[in-house]
């Protein structure tokens, strides 16, 4: 139990482990494993650099900079998740709906497939007939 107290004393005032550090460490380990199969020193060096940066983030005392890095990572992650969900939903709905563009303002409009309907753009109120 004595060594746990030493670790806790050392980590006092340090930033600690967060989601971005976790991603850096796991990605670095994956690059290290991939370097064994590919045989490249560049891949191995990149993996080692990611592991080192993740470790330095955990042990850093500059908490404001680490929080700023975490917020930037989370913004990028949420943007990628949004693009993935939108693409996935379009793929799932591809048989039931069709995406058309308004000829006036080029707004994307989702309409049901297999019908000839009058479409009114919600953005510019332009009305047009289209076979879907």
Q: Give the tens place of pLDDT for each residue, 34-82.
A: 998 887 888 899 999 999 999 899 888 888 899 999 999 999 999 999 9
From the list 66, 80, 63, the residue with the least C-alpha distance to 19 is: 66
Q: At which of 66, 86, 118 does a domain end?
A: 66
Question: Which tokens hold the place of 19?
Answer: 């989601």
Instruction: Please tell me which residue, 27 or 114, carries the higher pLDDT value.
Output: 27
Domain membership flag for residue 74 = no
Q: How high is the pLDDT of residue 115?
A: 86
One domain, residues 49 and 102 = no
Range of the domain at 115: 96-132
Domain membership flag for residue 82 = no
One domain, residues 56 and 105 = no
pLDDT at residue 1 greater than cutoff 80: no
DSSP class of residue 7? H
One domain, residues 1 and 59 = yes
One domain, residues 61 and 104 = no
Structural domain count of the chain: 2
Q: At which of 66, 85, 105 does a domain end?
A: 66
One domain, residues 1 and 50 = yes
Q: How high is the pLDDT of residue 89?
A: 92
Domain membership flag for residue 62 = yes
d(CA 104, CA 76): 33
């Amino acid at each position: 139990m004595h060594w746990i107290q030493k670790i806790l004393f050392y980590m006092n005032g340090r930033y600690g482990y967060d989601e971005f550090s976790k991603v850096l460490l796991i990605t670095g380990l994956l690059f290290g494993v991939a370097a064994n199969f590919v045989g490249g020193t560049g891949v191995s060096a990149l993996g080692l650099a990611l592991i080192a940066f993740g470790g330095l983030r955990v042990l850093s005392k500059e908490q404001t900079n680490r929080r700023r890095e975490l917020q930037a990572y989370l913004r990028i992650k949420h943007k990628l998740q949004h693009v993935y969900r939108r693409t996935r939903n379009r793929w799932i709905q591809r048989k039931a709906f069709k995406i058309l563009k308004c000829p006036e303002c080029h707004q994307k409009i989702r309409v049901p497939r297999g019908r000839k309907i009058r479409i009114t753009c919600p953005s510019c109120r332009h009305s047009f007939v289209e076979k879907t």
